């Protein structure tokens, strides 16, 4: 398998994975959401001395999704995504719907067509860039987390449904990494069409609640999973958060509904204390 499609390759994980897969000799179709990003990505690839086939592909656009069916894709990396930060009780409905359209529905509709092409060939690989938030939850990222929980359900089901056809499915689950993605998500409240006086929280005082890691481990893992060099289904980074993640998955089984009532959780308070773009100490 040589022909790779990576969505959301204009920035972050998808951008770097596209470059690295091209260096490895893959034929990479790197897609971006808007036309303005096309020439920028072409220039960046040229500066790094790699060859990318750059296309505009907004996963929520039916015409763009149909266009992708003509590219004979053998490896699909569903990386495109957005983060809508804010309380689940404050985020407007339009923003919720957009979160799911971009993170869940659009990528799944794209995958439906490409996966059926893979089935006809009897080979293929589908990589879902999920999140640690697809396994856990945190204050102010609940809608994003819900979308990634949906991705987890879709990917795991897809791995079962495509098994007999020889199609590989994997997930990559990044934790908090400093790419700008998390901090941008905590700025989206500025364009909400709502009544600010009705909000539970003052978002001008909040920031992404955790220090963030250098993204290099995700670049390495995502590239290797897409290339078929790693064969594990679920791939969480950083690996140092693996035990914490598993513990938090188990925690709701022991939680009592009155635990902590009337107090602010420490995980929520962190958003008031953290500064944007705080790196994890070396």
Omega of the bond leading into 79 within 30 degrees of 0 (cis) = no
CA distance 106 to 116: 16
Pure H helices in the chain: 12-23, 36-47, 62-68, 93-100, 106-121, 142-161, 181-185, 216-227, 242-250, 266-273
Active-site residue (options: 144, 203, 219, 233): 144
Q: Is 134 helix (H, G, I), strand (E, B) or coil?
A: helix
Mark 231-248 as b/e (b = at least 16 C-beta within 10 Å).
eeeebbbbeebeeeeeee
Encoding tokens for residue 3? 């022909």
The residues near 216 (Cβ < 8 Å, ≥ 6 apart) are none
Instruction: Classify residue 4 by burial, with Cβ atoms within 10 Å: 0-12, 13-18, 19+.
Output: buried
144 belongs to the catalytic site: yes
Widest pairwise Cα distance in the chain:
58
CA distances from 50 to 6, 28, 115, 215 (A): 15, 10, 27, 21
Q: Which residues are catalytic?
A: 144
């Amino acid at each position: 398998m040589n022909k790779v499609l990576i969505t959301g390759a204009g920035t972050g994980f998808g951008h770097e994975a596209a470059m690295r897969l091209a260096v490895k000799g893959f034929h990479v179709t790197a897609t971006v959401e808007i036309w303005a990003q096309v020439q920028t990505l072409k220039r960046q690839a040229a500066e790094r001395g790699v060859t990318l086939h750059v296309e505009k592909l907004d996963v929520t656009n039916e015409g763009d999704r149909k266009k992708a069916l003509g590219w004979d894709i053998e490896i699909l990396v569903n990386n495109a995504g957005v983060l809508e930060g804010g309380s689940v009780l404050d985020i407007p409905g339009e923003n919720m719907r957009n979160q799911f359209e971009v993170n869940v529905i659009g990528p799944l509709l794209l995958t439906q067509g490409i996966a059926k092409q893979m089935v006809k060939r009897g080979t293929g690989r589908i990589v879902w860039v999920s999140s640690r938030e697809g396994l856990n939850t945190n204050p102010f990222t609940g809608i994003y987390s819900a979308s990634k929980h949906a991705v987890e359900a879709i990917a795991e089901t897809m791995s079962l449904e495509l098994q007999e056809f020889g199609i590989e499915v994997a997930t990559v689950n990044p934790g908090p990494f400093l790419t700008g993605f998390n901090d941008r998500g905590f700025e989206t409240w500025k364009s909400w069409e709502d009544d600010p006086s009705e909000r539970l929280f003052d978002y001008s005082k909040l920031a992404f609640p955790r220090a963030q890691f250098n993204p290099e481990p995700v670049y390495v893992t995502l590239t290797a999973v897409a290339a078929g060099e790693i064969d594990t289904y679920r791939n969480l980074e950083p690996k140092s958060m693996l035990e914490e993640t598993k513990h938090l998955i188990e925690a709701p089984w022991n939680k009592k509904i009155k635990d902590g009532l009337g107090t602010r959780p420490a995980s929520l308070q962190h958003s008031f204390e953290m500064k944007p773009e705080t790196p994890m100490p070396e």
